[in-house]
Structure 1
């Protein structure tokens, strides 16, 4: 076995997320690849479960996986909600402090009924029951050799709480480890499990990757308003950016956040803000200001379930139309969609390069499942990363007069920093002439609109707008975007083992829309499945509207999910199988929020 999938479930307050984070970090620091998924209710002590899923592998991971090999459940309610996802032959570790007389009918799994809560009390405190679970887990998988790394990570996590808290957690971990080695059956696959180490890695979440990418790109100003799930970006930058001479400001609302970022960029500093759907709605007018005044700014939207307050801790891809069309007037902008944590880092650098080069607002569409996902990525060579700065005016005898909005072949005109002698200009949301003077003349507005959009015509030659995956000769294609792509790629790999030849296309830039790439992809396909996480098929409708290569013989199918959960590989594979077998018209699902 080259990998293993672990799921921990319990009530909010059981330490599910913290124990999952600690085990994830230890597994990564031991040299393995990891990928996580976590879910928790909006309320601190909500009625819904907390869930943490971790996939550990010796090779790169495309998606956090569908079903688990090990299920750790802290109570009967969460056990019943998750037992059906445990693989046949899997292992259940259940806190039997209250009862152990359940699920005797499940004979195809190994059951460990351990009084985790009672042991935690014996070892010092009920609050350490998550450490007891980790200790038992470490004892069941000795070849991972991560107990000492776990201790190091526990010490780092709780160092601000004092030495006594650290010692208490150490005691629970050690005692539980010894309990497992002495009392639990060691004849399972876990005893001999050996996931090979694959060298030193970086581990970070999607939000951390975007924050780190911003720093590498030269961002030195961040303004934001706290909002789930984007706040982690501000928290990361608040610690790291001042060390590099930058500033982080917590504003009173999202309107102030984006206008502060635009103002800082106007003054010559690379700037960013981050939000989620409700905040992006408020930022829409200011996006038009950045576009009209041709001021670079990067905006991250970590999408969550909507509309309105919606589902702050659940995932969705329903802000696509808002990101592309969400401001009044003809507004050029660029919208990027990273597919995983590593891509989040590099796409953020590209976002700043595009913003600075083309003097335009650039949006990055992440989401809860990607922003909070932790993954291992290979070490980054910063010397190989290209960082682009905005075009500055050069004063010569032939160029004595500065026209900030000079019409050029590329649409890009030099941008001066306020205070530079001889290159002053006015930047407002009013339409303006080449020399920045306000103007409402029809010919000026027409010329300036064309100038602003000419930058997009120039920019498309810079983009790696999309990528393909799979067999070029395949007549069955799948199109997805953003974080959904990982599950699609893994489904294609599994479909290949079933004899199905399928190719995927996943856009990296969703606006300007990659029509040429998609037309070329559709031209060689008989069947296309479009996969996305929203009810209204926003990306699919854009394809139908913008792409010309839709011949009458091309079968187009949609798979949309809108229940707040990410796609599983099995959901996509099942849809592939039904389409190929011609059963798609009969397909029904018992899972709410899955639409075909």
Structure 2
């Protein structure tokens, strides 16, 4: 019996590849296994190769696997594209319809199964993916019963007969495999899962749920990969809590509409990716100068321009921090797991309102669309903080007087009335203004207002919880590895391999990029000999931030910008080479 394996299904988009992986993984999740899933897909609606790789384990895992134990192939392209990942003696379950072949010299075991033929005999070839699930289950020694609740949940609206037909397809796939199985396949039977009830969700769903739990009741947005799932989740859920989602004509409208809604006191977010973030830049500046809270989720993808819409990258970092013209206080947060995405979404709203600033919650495609096992969320941890939002009667104003909405205060944060509050009348404008909001070009006023805004965040680094997720295994280490977003799990899996090589490793995962946690990171840097930054971009943007904000000396980068996430093995190899040859 085995306690961990990697399974992948591949074919053409539109063939049910995603649903195959979904049903397979959901059933295993309900049996108490830990799972990590990553989809490769093309930026088109139908056609083009796609695959869904699911890692299954009896222990906690947080990264994609280096290799592949089982490949389910619906076409020859799936074998050709993914064969290099197969371990020695791996199993390829392939639809016999296309006469599958392995590359010359392959050590994998090809096992043709008539997925399409069996499905057609049961009523429709569309159920070939269910036959594949059944064959996979038989290989792993799983019972068909574990799939019933999942199939019922997915197909219940289509009636009980459809549920039973799909279960018949799973059983037929299992039966065919069991009756024709060859001894040479080896042992792929999984150890029992722990039976614990865990969530299995993508980062976008966790962020959307966090926004809902954090009090968000409105979302204007424009669909864009890989952020659309946030919008789609809230379209279903927000109306149940008195909220709504509006699909705007573009990202400019989405951002300005979010500013307007936040101005009225309604917690509002918008979400996009790099191209949409580019369009929002002027509006982000408007949020900054008008001191209206704003929460934006940026799910990074391959750029520039349209770039690689469905591929992994972390190249918006500097744009998020420096993209707006002029100088405003701004916060950029970077959750490093699906679970953190939930809690950080709540905190993004708290920070936006407490400091009256734009907050960008930065993720990447692997984190936004990658699916992870998540412990049950603790709603008791959620705290709603609204800062200086006024909810009591305001003092009378003298005739012709306006409320001092932009009052110069020691902490830089001014009292914030809701429009319509008696005695709360004030101007709001995107030009420089005095304390009442009236336009002003006075040099003294300009300096006073700029200084006021810019000192808002002086205390944030002291109050932000865990600006760096620290894994300090050694008081004095050879190497400090720094990462952001989805690289955390991969780095954590790589570290024991470096430790076996005799290299002492500490790890810091940055969760707050702006304002940068300089002192916290410097304290980690002071304990190590060498520093390397792991990031999915071509220019080492996070490395530049580390150099700018610390006294780190020489800092090296390990970069990947081919559209794919890092694998533990390649990180291990590159870190070892950098350290061994003195190039760090």
Task: Report the TM-score when normalising by structure 1.
Answer: 0.92
Distance 1:138 1:186 in 2: 17
Indicate the residue corresponding to 1:54 in structure 2: 54
Q: Contact 1:304/1:312 (CA < 8 Å) preserved in 2?
A: yes
Question: Post-superposition shift, 1:162?
Answer: 4.9
Assess, with a 3 A threshold, how the Cα gap between structure 1 residues 101 and 58 changes in structure 2: closer, same or farther. closer
Deviations 1:347-368 (A, max 9, x none): 1111111111111110011121
Question: Post-superposition shift, 1:251?
Answer: 0.8
> Aligned with 1:366: secondary structure?
strand
* 1:109-508 matched pairs, under 5 angstroms: 109-142=108-141, 144-145=142-143, 147-163=144-160, 165-185=162-182, 188=185, 190=187, 192-393=189-390, 394-395=392-393, 402-463=403-464, 464-472=466-474, 473-508=476-511
Question: Post-superposition shift, 1:52?
Answer: 0.4
Distance 1:131 1:80 in 2: 23
* 1:480-559 matched pairs, under 5 angstroms: 480-550=483-553, 554=554, 556-559=555-558
Deviations 1:216-249 (A, max 9, x none): 1111111101111111101100111111111211
* 1:16-165 matched pairs, under 5 angstroms: 16-47=17-48, 49-100=49-100, 102-103=102-103, 105-107=105-107, 109-142=108-141, 144-145=142-143, 147-163=144-160, 165=162
Q: Contact 2:394/2:422 (CA < 8 Å) preserved in 1?
A: no
Deviations 1:322-365 (A, max 9, x none): 11111111021100111111111111111111111111110011
Q: Contact 2:546/2:552 (CA < 8 Å) preserved in 1?
A: no
Assess, with a 3 A threshold, how the Cα gap between structure 1 residues 399 and 471 changes in structure 2: closer, same or farther. farther
Which stretches in structure 1 are left out of the alignment for 5+ residues?
Answer: 586-596
> Aligned with 1:475: secondary structure?
strand
> Aligned with 1:270: secondary structure?
coil
Assess, with a 3 A threshold, how the Cα gap between structure 1 residues 423 and 6 changes in structure 2: closer, same or farther. same
Distance 1:573 1:435 in 2: 58
Question: Post-superposition shift, 1:310?
Answer: 1.1
Distance 2:106 2:378 in 1: 50
Q: Contact 2:9/2:72 (CA < 8 Å) preserved in 1?
A: yes
Question: Post-superposition shift, 1:119?
Answer: 2.3
Q: Contact 2:313/2:537 (CA < 8 Å) preserved in 1?
A: yes
Assess, with a 3 A threshold, how the Cα gap between structure 1 residues 557 and 231 changes in structure 2: closer, same or farther. same
Question: Post-superposition shift, 1:79?
Answer: 0.3
Assess, with a 3 A threshold, how the Cα gap between structure 1 residues 470 and 516 changes in structure 2: closer, same or farther. closer
Q: Contact 1:124/1:172 (CA < 8 Å) preserved in 2?
A: no
Question: Post-superposition shift, 1:549?
Answer: 3.6
Which stretches in structure 2 are left out of the alignment for 5+ residues?
Answer: none
Deviations 1:487-532 (A, max 9, x none): 1111112222333211111110011112222222222322211110
Distance 2:348 2:45 in 1: 35
Q: Contact 2:31/2:193 (CA < 8 Å) preserved in 1?
A: no
Question: Post-superposition shift, 1:161?
Answer: 4.4
Q: For structure 1, which segment, 97-106 or 38-47, has the greater mean C-alpha deviation from structure 2 after superposition?
A: 97-106
Question: Post-superposition shift, 1:167?
Answer: 3.8
> Aligned with 2:94: secondary structure?
strand
Deviations 1:83-119 (A, max 9, x none): 1211223222122223255447334x33322222222
Deviations 1:133-173 (A, max 9, x none): 1011111222x44x334232223223444555434322211
Aligned residues: 577
User: CA RMSD of the aligned region, Å?
Assistant: 2.1
